[in-house]
Amino acid sequence: MRRRDLLAVGLGLAATPLLGRVGLAQPRPSLGEAAAKAGITFGTAFDQDALADRGYGDLIRTQARILTTDWSMKLAALRPNGPEVDYSGAERLVRFAEAARIPVRGHTLIWNENNPDWLKRLSREQRVGWLDRHVTETMTRFAGRIHSWDVVNEPFWPDHGLRGGYRDGPWYDAMGPGYVTAAFRAAMKADPNVRLVLNEAFTESADRLGLAVRRGLLRLVDEIRDAGLRLDAVGLQSHIVRGRPFDPAGWRQFLAELAARGVEIWITELDVDGAAFIGDDAERDARVAEVYRSVLATALDEPKVTTVITWELADGFSHYRDQRDPDVRPLPFDRALKPKPAFDAMLAAFAARRRR
C-alpha cells in the first residue's frame, strides 16, 4: 500500500481510487439547491471577508441557504475592551444575509474560550450577572432577524480534568456545569421564537477525546431537557483533522442516540484538513473529497440530520489558511473560487439522500 493510501486509512477511509473532477463545462446545481431537493439545508460560515471580497460574497449568495457568523458575534468581538458593546460588525453580517434573503445563525453566545481579559478579571458573582446580561442584550438586539443561536459552544474538553469532562473557563469557573442550563434559560426568555442550539466538536473520532465528548454530550442533552428547557438542535462541528481518524460506524450509532432524544442534528462546521495527504493538488483534493463523501454518507443516513454547514466555503477563507501549509485545501471551492472534487462529492451525497 502506498504512503498516501496508508494516510487515507488513518483518516478512516478505504484505499479507493482517486475521485476525478467532473468537467467544469457541465452545468451543475448549487450545493444549496442540491441539498434542498434532499430535504437538507446547506450553508456556510461567513464573516467580514464575504463583504470585502465581491467574488466570494457572490459565491456564498449562490451556494448557501443558511449562514453562520464566524467571528463577529462572539463576545470577544462584540465587547473586546469592556462592557461597552459594538454591534457594527455583526450588523454588517446580518444586513448582508438579509439583502441576500438567506437566514443567518448567531455564533456563539457563551463559550469558555476566546474571552476578553476584562471578563476574566471580574469576580465570579459579576460573571454570573454578565452571562445573563450578554445573552439577553445580544439576542434582544437581533430579535426577529436571527434564525438560530449557538447558545453554548464546545462545553467539553476532558483534558482540563474537570468532573464530567467539562471545558474550563470564566463561565465554568463562575457557575460550574450549571452555566449551560443558565445560558439556555436566559436565551429562552430573551427570544422565545428563535431556535436554540448546543454546538460541540470532536465527536467524529473514536479516540479518547471523541468518545468522552460523545458521552458528555448525550448526558448534557438529557440534563437540558430534564430542566424543562428548550433545545431545538445539537450542532456537531465535524472538523475532520489529521491524527483523529473518522469513525463511521461509531459516529452513526452516536447520531442514532442523539436522534432518539428528539433533537434535530446539524452538521455545523464541516471541513477536512487534507495536509496529511501526499501528492499534488489533484491527488490531495481527491482524498479530501473521499473524506467528505464518507462523512456525509454517514451523517445523511440519519433522518434527524437536517442541516449541513461548512466552515467557510473556499480554501482562501478557511481558518487553516494561516497555518504553515499555505495551500491547505479543506473546502469545496479553491482559492480561485472554483469547485473541487469535494464539491462533486457533496452533490453526490445530497443526491443519494434524495433517493432514499
Please spell the DSSP secondary structure of 189-212, one letter per residue. HH-TTSEEEEEE--TTB-SHHHHH
Q: Provide the residue type at 289 as one letter.
A: A
Cα–Cα distance between 135 and 319 in angstroms, integer? 26
Q: What angle do CA 9, 13, 15 make, to 5 degrees?
A: 70
Quick one: pLDDT at residue 177?
98
The grid cell for 308 is: 449541513
Nearest to 183 by CA among 153, 155, 154, 151: 151
Regions of the chain where pLDDT drops below 70 = 1-26, 323-326
Q: Residue 101 in 3-state DSSP?
A: coil
DSSP 246: B
Condensed to tens digits (0 to 9), the pLDDT of residues 60-92 reads: 999 999 999 999 999 999 999 999 999 999 999
Q: 266 - beta bridge partners?
A: 235, 307
Condensed to tens digits (0 to 9), the pLDDT of residues 297-314 reads: 999 999 999 999 999 999
Quick one: pLDDT at residue 242?
85
Quick one: pLDDT at residue 313?
98
Nearest to 347 by CA among 335, 336, 333: 333
Strand ranges (DSSP E) for 137-232? Answer: 148-153, 195-200
